Amino acid sequence: MPRKPLSIVILTYNSEKHLEEVLHSASFADEVLILDSGSTDRTLQIAQQAGCRIEHETWLGFGPQKQRAVDLATNDWVYVLDSDEVVPSNLREEILKTLENPKFSAYTVPRLNHFFGKPIRHGGLYPDATLRLFDRRRARFTEDAVHEKVITDESIGALKHPMIHYAYDSIEEFIAKQNRYSTLGAKSNRFKALVNPIWTFWRMYVIKQGFRDGWHGYLIARLYAQYTFWKYVK
């Protein structure tokens, strides 16, 4: 039985850092669609050299922007890949095998997050499953500007092999991005600004065993606690 054709869709904006590796890992798809929102670095040049289909859209917020990319895809089966995520060979083979005879209309995929050069397997950051492979006729993104997700009324399957996510290469990058996210998702609440950061650290470092990742685990728990404070104090 021939497999379902697949489009991999990727949002970009000045995404040159990891893009060559990302696009190389995505090259197995029948279509790789880039939806760019005004890149001024080498992003578009890299995408052109990789033979991607390139479309343009002013920034709409994460949910609407990703749904726009999904709507533009040629194929009904899509895999939504971020510009800092890589599909390893074992996940690629699992995706292709799944599309030969899909038992579900949507599938979650685990992510192995890399923080500051190290893969993190504790602290609640793994397997970090997220719904990425789906039939767009049966699932769609929410309209959320940040912390968007794919929703469907049907049963959801789960792939086993993780994609690699280069979450943050440096502490400075983490602080800059989470400062932006905390503004987009701000929920001003003084009580939660006092209490929730403490709970965030305790949950990630102790309950979710972030201490097993050593110094990285401690640092990540502290940084997420700070992000929680920003979100409720803004």
Residue percentage of the chain with pLDDT more than 90: 90
If asked whether residues 113 and 48 sit together in one domain, one would say yes
The alpha carbon of residue 110 and the mean position of all alpha carbons in its chain are separated, in whole angstroms, by: 10
Instruction: Take residue 234 and report the two structure tokens written for it.
Output: 């803004």
If asked whether residues 145 and 177 sit together in one domain, one would say no
If asked whether residues 78 and 181 sit together in one domain, one would say no
If asked whether residues 187 and 133 sit together in one domain, one would say no
Each residue's pLDDT tens digit, 112-156: 999 999 999 999 999 999 999 999 999 999 999 888 999 999 999
Element (H, E) at 179: helix 171-184
| Cis before 127? omega within 30 | yes
If asked whether residues 136 and 214 sit together in one domain, one would say no
Q: Angle 104-108-112 (CA atoms, 0-180°, nearest 5)?
A: 155
If asked whether residues 49 and 128 sit together in one domain, one would say yes
* Residue 1: inside a domain: no
If asked whether residues 148 and 195 sit together in one domain, one would say no
If asked whether residues 38 and 116 sit together in one domain, one would say yes
Domain count, the chain: 2
Residues spanned by the domain of 111: 6-168
Polymer length in residues for the chain: 234
Task: Give the domain-ending residue among 153, 168, 183.
Answer: 168
**103: domain CATH number?**
3.90.550.10
> CB of 107 within 8 A of CB of 116?
no
Each residue's pLDDT tens digit, 169-197: 999 999 998 888 778 777 889 999 999 99
172 burial class (0-12, 13-18, 19+ CB within 10 angstroms)? exposed
* Residue 81: inside a domain: yes
Task: Give the domain-ending residue among 147, 168, 189.
Answer: 168
Alpha-carbon dihedral angle through residues 176, 179, 183, 185, given to the nearest 10 degrees: 110
Q: Where are the beta strands (DSSP E) in 110-199?
A: 111-115, 118-119, 130-135, 140-141, 150-151, 157-158, 163-168
Each residue's pLDDT tens digit, 61-93: 999 999 999 999 999 999 999 999 999 999 999
If asked whether residues 11 and 123 sit together in one domain, one would say yes
